[in-house]
Amino acid sequence: MSAPSLTAVQTSMKSVFTCVAIIGKYQSPEVAASVVSLAGFLSSRGLAVLVEAETAAAVETGDFEIASYEQIGARADLAVVLGGDGTMLNCARRLAPFGVPLLGVNQGRLGFMTDIARGTMLDGVASVLGGDYTSERRFLLNAEVWRDGAQVFQALAFNDVVANKGDIGRMIELEVKVDGELIHVLRADGLIVCTPTGSTAYAMSANGPILHPSVAGIAIVPLCPHALTHRPITISDQSTVEISLLPPHEAPIHFDGQQRFDARAGDTVRVARSVHSITLLHPPGYSYFAMLREKLSWSAFPRQ
């Protein structure tokens, strides 16, 4: 597959979308005013509006149609996500099989994937509706847990798949292979396998590399390894990573920090690029490096 691309799109101010879904931060009354305001704005432009069911449960949405993720996937040609990166991760996994583009309005903290500020929400959404945006495709990971030759769990991850020591106070031992070849036997607190999108999340905190979204790679980042020679490594996005828990060690496996599976000794986690991808829409003026400068304070001068 080709690397993710960033494509500029410009058309007339007539909306290039006809049905827009609104998805808010899970059970968050704080986004209520934004949801209602955005729904009214979209409706006033003659667009069909769907409010995701769990969002509607926390918000007084009036007469707007309530829809499940499956209904959104079947009908919407744009989903506006109100929340932080956690909300975006959940939406990405659930809508990836349907190919619905996502546009993020930041109601959280850092917001690496939610580009539009709450205070400029309507202006930003209006620009995108008029076709003034950039479009970027990003891939997800497919993870499977295998036990005694049978698959016992499967999940998608937009950010990362993490095996860690859980509640125990000691390191675990993992055998790590790429495309069937042994990379190392790792004694550590755990291991992160991440996409370029996830490289600015947990992996960055573990001193992993930041991967530009256009890089067709997967990063493997050890968590507090016992040997200083265990370093992060970036591999092709066409490769398969296998993580085997060496007995007697067990470990929880986390998917975007939102799903969990408790793996047993001898289990193997297989991680590879998913057949699904997500299209993120960015408002006018978006720049990945400008986003990093802002979120990571790269341009800030030290205080005297």
**Per the residue annotation, which of 63, 85, 115, 256 is the catalytic one?**
85
pLDDT score of 13: 46
How far apart are alpha carbons 37 and 279 in whole angstroms?
25
pLDDT score of 118: 87
How far apart are alpha carbons 35 and 271 in whole angstroms?
36
pLDDT tens digits along 4-27: 445 544 433 456 899 999 999 877
Record: fold of 17-129: Rossmann fold (3.40.50)
Rounded to the nearest 5°, which phi and psi values hold at 259? -120, 155
Nearest to 55 by CA among 78, 33, 77: 33
Reduced to 3 states (helix: H, G, I; strand: E, B; else coil), residue 164 is: strand
Block means of pLDDT (10 residues each) for the chain, 304 residues, are 46 71 84 91 95 87 87 97 94 96 86 87 94 95 98 98 89 97 96 97 96 97 93 98 97 97 98 97 92 86 60
Check if 179 is active-site.
no
CATH architecture under which domain 141-275 falls: Sandwich (2.60)
**Per the structure block, which two tokens stand in for 221?**
């980042």
pLDDT score of 169: 78
**Per the structure block, which two tokens stand in for 230?**
């265990």
Q: Is beta strand 251-255 parallel, antiparallel or unpaired with respect to 160-164?
A: antiparallel
In a 13 Å sphere around the CA of 217, the CA atoms on its Cβ side amount to 16
Nearest to 212 by CA among 122, 287, 265: 287
Return the number of other C-beta atoms located less than 10 Å from residue 150's C-beta: 7
pLDDT score of 1: 44
Domains 17-129 and 141-275 share a fold: no
Domain boundaries, the chain: 17-129, 141-275
